[in-house]
Amino acid sequence: MAPQRLESLMLKDKPVVPPDSVIHTFSHIKGDKIDLVLTQDGEGLCQESFILRQGEWAQFFLDIWFDPLYRSYNFQKAEGHAL
């Protein structure tokens, strides 16, 4: 995905847990520095559909995501809350 296009779609400085979370998405990050793209719908994050940029961080993310210890942790809303 072209960095300029990615920047036009990014949600910048938005609450992570709406409507009033003190934790916000980054307001200053550039499209060429993005390693993980998540989508959302009316119910929140869509963890079934994501894009990873090839690299060390992507390898780390996938290693953790599929680690048996991590997978056995009982997140309240599974992968959505983990993300």
pLDDT tens digits, one per residue of 25-63? 899 999 999 999 888 888 777 778 889 999 999 999 899
pLDDT of residue 81: 61
At residue 83, does pLDDT exceed 70?
no
Q: How far apart are CA 7 and CA 28, in angstroms?
A: 10
Q: Which amino acid is at 12?
A: K
- What SS3 state is found at 28? coil
Q: How far apart are CA 80 and CA 43, in angstroms?
A: 10
pLDDT of residue 30: 92
- What SS3 state is found at 34? coil
Q: Is the bond preceding 68 in cis, omega lying within 30 degrees of 0?
A: no
- As a whole number, mean pLDDT of residues 4-18 equals 87
**Residue 9 Cα distances to 6, 13, 31, 62, angstroms:** 5, 13, 10, 24
pLDDT of residue 56: 95
pLDDT of residue 76: 66
